[in-house]
Amino acid sequence: MTRPPTIVAMGGGGFSQQPDDPRLDDYVLAATGVDRPRVCFLPTAASNVDRYLATFYPAFAAKAIASHLDLFMRSGRDIRTPLLEQDVIYVGGGSTANMLAIWRLHGVDGILREAWERGIVLAGVSAGGLCWFEQGSTDSFGPDLAALDGLLGILPGSFCPHYDGEALRRPRLHQLIAAGELGSTYACDDGAAVVFHGRELHEAIAERDGATAYRVELVDGAVRETPIPTRLLP
Choosing from 16, 126, 137, 158, the catalytic residue is 126
Whether 202 sits among the annotated catalytic residues: the reply is no
Choosing from 16, 158, 162, 174, the catalytic residue is 162
CB atoms within 10 A of CB 161: 32
Give the span between the Cα atoms of 138 and 36, in whole angstroms: 34
What is the per-residue DSSP string for 31-48?
TTT-SS-EEEEE-TT-S-
| Amino acid at site 226 | T
Per-residue H/E/C for 183-234: CCEEEECCCEEEEEECCEEEEEEECCCCCCEEEEEEECCEEEEEEECEEECC
Whether 162 sits among the annotated catalytic residues: the reply is yes
Which residues have C-beta within 8 Å of that of residue 166, sequence separation ≥ 6? none
Give the span between the Cα atoms of 168 and 2, in whole angstroms: 41
Give the span between the Cα atoms of 178 and 224, in whole angstroms: 10
Active site residues: 126, 162
